[in-house]
């Protein structure tokens, strides 16, 4: 187990390292790629701007100042030079690979006047008539001070895109012979490709950053959820390991006592020592039985087969039985036990008294177990509400013992979890009691919770739904039970003269049953398998008053033997009580016994009280 856990842990560390390294690698690649893209974009833009500047420089000397000075008004366009220069400019644009070439002059007062360009479209061509206020043209307004200072100007990428067509411009001054500035020469190029490239590269950059973030985040969350699952499975393995070791401890301890005390009892000559050994063996056996019953309950819970019965019972009487179980241990530890049942709690209710008693016994035993000597344990029951005969009761069991810290409070209702492994080492226990209790309470339509402070004690509070039942009916029931209890008393010779057949393949079990029934006065025959039992019953049809039948046996099992006995032709066979004795205590197993024709069921290990109860129920009409 610990090897698996170590493997899981080192796998986890390995995944972390890989994730960390790959995140760094991805980040570096993304950075390099971004720098490369930026560089490429800048170089492209620079080369285009240079191309424009060169073209603008050429344009500034391509038409002379004298020629440009010919055009100041609309009438000047009538001059023959107008078309001739426009033709030259069209050739220039073609040769220089620009879209437009044009000239404008600053005429003061924030106004510029266009002079001439190459535009073949008469509608859009520039003429001296076009005079613009700089405030209406922010780009040229940006260029004018530079031109007037004798510098060149290149538009930033895409600035025209939204206002004018997709153009990029460079403008340079045109100098007079004396070095003063006459006007500006400009060239435009469509920057559609450039802008598209710029946009695409920007998209690529964003996509890169987003995919980097997404992949790092998804890696991070993926690892986190893997980590969570791995930790859960590690802690489940640890809890399971812990559970198995405390379970083994819980079973070995009483078994050890049984084996040891049996040896002591056998060796000892003193009857007192033998008796002491027997009582220790009895104590250890009932503890072991408790552990096994818990495991069986747990198996039922896991298989979703835990089912509740419904009987009418006295709440107080059920509680009395529980008190009998826990008071002995409480007295030993000088713990004061106090019980308070509110007046509004119904005397008689309908529900599963056995399972309710099991929950209360578990909570009270825990309270006593985890409370130091001289402490206090209080029980209280109250009615939370009632409607249409259905009522909700609340039970609270409070102690002033060791308490449970908040972190562990969350865990103790989970399978294989105890409050703390140190606690289980010190106090023992399998940690199954609360899991089983919680499940039972949930089946009763209730819930359970803890209120506790470490070192100050704990309160276990649970609610459950039940029905108030008819007092008279319950009284009858309880009278019958009390009456029965009296008759069941194990008087010697209670069943004298009646005949019983025990069908059991394991010799020691036959022997135990024979000696348990020694004083009843029953005349007992035995059979080692179903086939033999069948032939014994068939041979002497009215001989037996009752049959105790094991279920799993070689040659012919108990179910088959019962079916065959029931099928025998004699009419009295149908009345012969056949009681199953089985270690299989699931509801399905019991149903199988009943379906095969058996009348009742006693579970192994056999409890003497239950044996007498069954004998009384089925034999009372025969004596």
CA distance 286 to 360: 18
The smaller minimum CB distance to ligand ADP, of residues 60 and 294, is found at 294
- How crowded is residue 445: how many other Cβ atoms within 10 Å of its Cβ? 13
C-beta closer to ligand ADP: residue 183 or 377: 377
Q: Is 402 in the site for ligand ADP (CB under 6 A)?
A: yes
Question: What letter does residue 547 receive in the DSSP assignment?
Answer: E
- 335/402 with CB nearer ligand ADP: 402
- When the beta carbons of 436 and 547 are compared against ligand ADP, the nearer one is 436
Whether the CB-CB separation of 476 and 398 falls below 8 Å is answered with: no
Letters for 474-513 (x = contact with ligand ADP by CB under 6 A, - = none) are ----------------------------------------
How far apart CA 480 and CA 484 sit, in angstroms, is 6
Query: Quick one: 174 or 367, whose CB is closer to ligand ADP?
Result: 367
Nearer to ligand ADP, 150 or 428 (CB): 428
Compute CA distances 572 → 83, 150, 523, 540, whole Å: 137, 133, 19, 11
> Which residues, in sequence order, are CB contacts of 315 under 8 Å at separation 6+?
341, 345, 346, 347, 348, 349, 381
Nearest-approach distance from CB 403 to ligand ADP, in angstroms: 6
Burial status of residue 589 (CB atoms within 10 A of its CB: 0-12, 13-18, 19 or more): middle
Of 113 and 362, CB closest to ligand ADP: 362
Among 312, 399, 528, 545, binds ligand ADP (CB under 6 A): 399
For residue 557, is it left (φ>0), alpha (ψ between -120 and 50) or beta? Answer: beta
Q: How far is the CB of 289 from ligand ADP (least distance, A)?
A: 14
Nearest Cα to 513, choosing from 446, 415, 606?
Answer: 606
Residue 310: CB minimum distance to ligand ADP, A: 26
The interface region with ligand ADP, picked from 4-12, 174-182, 344-352, 398-406 by CB under 6 A, is: 398-406
Candidates 352, 470, 469, 455; CA nearest to 404 is 455
Q: How far is the CB of 297 from ligand ADP (least distance, A)?
A: 12
DSSP string computed for 82-134: HHHHHHHHHHHHHHHT-SEEEEEEE-STTEEEEEEE----TTT---TT-EEEG
In the complex, the smallest distance separating the C-beta of residue 461 from ligand ADP, rounded to whole angstroms, is 12
Q: Is 458 in the site for ligand ADP (CB under 6 A)?
A: yes
Site track 355-394 with ligand ADP (rule: CB under 6 A), x = hit: -------x---xx--x------------------------
Burial of 313 (0-12, 13-18, 19+ CB in 10 A): buried
Decide if residue 448 touches ligand ADP (CB under 6 A).
no
CB of 425 to ligand ADP, least distance (A): 10
Binding mask 312-331 for ligand ADP (x = CB under 6 A): --------------------
Residue 355: closest CA among 437, 299, 433? 437
Q: What is the radius of gyration, based on Cα positions, of the chain?
A: 50
372 vs 493 by CB, closer to ligand ADP: 372
Interface with ligand ADP, residue 172, by CB under 6 A: no
Place of tokens 């309160």: 459
List binders of ligand ADP among 404-443 (CB under 6 A).
Answer: 404, 412, 418-419, 423-424, 429-434
CB of 288 to ligand ADP, least distance (A): 14
Nearer residue to ligand ADP within complex by CB, 155 or 458? 458
Q: H-helix or E-strand containing 483?
A: helix 471-488
- Minimum CB separation of residue 610 from ligand ADP in Å reads 25
Q: Does 401 bind ligand ADP (CB under 6 A)?
A: yes
Q: Which among 59, 119, 113 has a CA at the least distance from the CA of 83?
A: 119
What's the closest the beta carbon of residue 15 comes to ligand ADP, in angstroms? Answer: 34
Cα-based angle 150, 154, 157 (whole degrees, multiple of 5): 165
b or e along 415-429 (b: 16 or more beta carbons within 10 Å of the residue's beta carbon)?
bbbbbbeebbeeeeb
The 10 Å Cβ neighbour count of residue 399 is: 27
Q: Which is nearer to ligand ADP, 367 or 441 (CB)?
A: 367
Nearer to ligand ADP, 90 or 293 (CB): 293
Q: Supply the minimum distance, in Å, between the C-beta of residue 444 and ligand ADP.
A: 18
Q: Smallest distance, Å, CB 413 to ligand ADP?
A: 8
Q: Which is nearer to ligand ADP, 411 or 467 (CB)?
A: 411
CB 594 within 8 A of CB 545: no
The count of chain residues that interact with ligand ADP, using the rule CB under 6 A, is 21
Binding segment (CB under 6 A) for ligand ADP, from list 399-407, 507-515, 516-524, 568-576: 399-407
Catalog residues that contact ligand ADP under the rule CB under 6 A.
362, 366-367, 370, 399, 401-404, 412, 418-419, 423-424, 429-434, 458
């Amino acid at each position: 187990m610990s090897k698996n856990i170590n493997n899981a842990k080192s796998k986890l560390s390995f995944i972390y390292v890989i994730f960390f390294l790959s995140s760094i690698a991805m980040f570096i690649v993304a950075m390099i790629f971004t720098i490369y893209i930026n560089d490429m974009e800048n170089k492209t833009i620079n080369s285009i701007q240079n191309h424009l500047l060169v073209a603008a420089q050429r344009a500034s000397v391509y038409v002379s100042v004298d020629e440009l000075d010919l055009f100041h008004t609309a009438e000047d366009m009538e001059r023959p030079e107008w078309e001739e220069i426009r033709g030259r400019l069209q050739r220039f644009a073609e040769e220089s690979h620009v879209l437009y070439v044009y000239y404008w002059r600053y005429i003061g007062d924030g106004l510029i006047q266009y002079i001439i360009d190459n535009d073949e479209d008469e509608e859009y061509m520039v003429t001296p008539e076009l005079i613009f206020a700089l405030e209406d043209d922010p780009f040229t307004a940006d260029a004018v001070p530079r031109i007037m200072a004798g510098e060149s100007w290149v538009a930033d990428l895409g600035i025209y895109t939204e206002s004018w067509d997709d153009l990029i411009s460079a403008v340079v001054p045109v100098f007079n012979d004396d070095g003063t500035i006459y006007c500006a020469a400009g060239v435009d190029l469509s920057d559609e490709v450039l802008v598209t490239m710029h946009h695409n590269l920007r998209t690529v950059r964003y996509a890169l950053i987003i995919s980097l973030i997404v992949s790092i985040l998804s890696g991070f969350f993926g690892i986190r959820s893997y980590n969570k699952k791995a930790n859960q499975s590690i802690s489940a393995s640890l809890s399971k390991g812990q559970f198995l070791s405390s379970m083994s401890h819980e079973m070995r301890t009483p078994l050890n006592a049984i084996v040891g005390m049996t040896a002591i009892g056998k060796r000892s000559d003193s009857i007192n020592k033998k008796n002491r050994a027997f009582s220790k063996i009895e104590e250890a056996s009932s503890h072991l039985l408790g552990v096994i019953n818990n495991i069986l309950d747990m198996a039922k819970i896991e298989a979703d087969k835990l089912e509740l019965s419904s009987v009418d019972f006295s709440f107080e009487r059920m509680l009395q039985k529980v008190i009998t179980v826990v008071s002995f241990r409480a007295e030993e530890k000088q713990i004061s036990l106090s019980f308070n049942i509110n007046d509004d709690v119904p005397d008689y209710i309908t529900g599963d008294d056995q399972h309710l008693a099991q929950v209360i016994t578990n909570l009270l035993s825990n309270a006593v177990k985890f409370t130091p000597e001289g402490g206090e344990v209080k029980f209280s029951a109250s009615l939370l509400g009632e409607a249409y005969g259905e009522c909700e009761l609340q039970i609270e069991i409070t102690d002033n013992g060791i308490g449970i810290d908040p972190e562990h409070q969350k865990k103790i209702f989970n399978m294989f979890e105890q409050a703390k492994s140190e606690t289980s080492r010190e106090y023992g226990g399998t940690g199954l009691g609360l899991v089983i209790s919680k499940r039972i309470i949930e089946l009763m339509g209730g819930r359970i919770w803890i209120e506790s402070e470490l070192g100050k004690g704990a309160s276990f509070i649970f609610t459950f739904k039940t029905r108030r039942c008819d007092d008279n009916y319950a009284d009858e029931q309880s009278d019958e039970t009390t009456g029965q209890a009296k008759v069941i008393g194990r008087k010697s010779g209670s069943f004298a003269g009646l005949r019983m057949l025990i069908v059991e393949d394991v010799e020691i079990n036959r022997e135990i049953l024979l000696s348990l029934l020694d004083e009843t006065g029953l005349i007992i025959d035995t059979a080692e398998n179903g086939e033999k039992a069948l032939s014994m019953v068939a041979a002497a049809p009215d001989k037996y008053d009752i049959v105790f039948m094991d279920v799993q046996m070689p040659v012919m099992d108990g179910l088959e033997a019962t079916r065959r006995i029931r099928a025998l032709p004699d009419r009295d066979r149908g009345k012969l009580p056949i009681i199953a004795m089985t270690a299989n205590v699931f509801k399905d197993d019991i149903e199988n016994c009943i379906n095969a024709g058996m009348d009742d069921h006693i579970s192994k290990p056999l409890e003497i009280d239950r044996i007498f109860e069954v004998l009384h129920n089925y034999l009372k009409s025969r004596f």
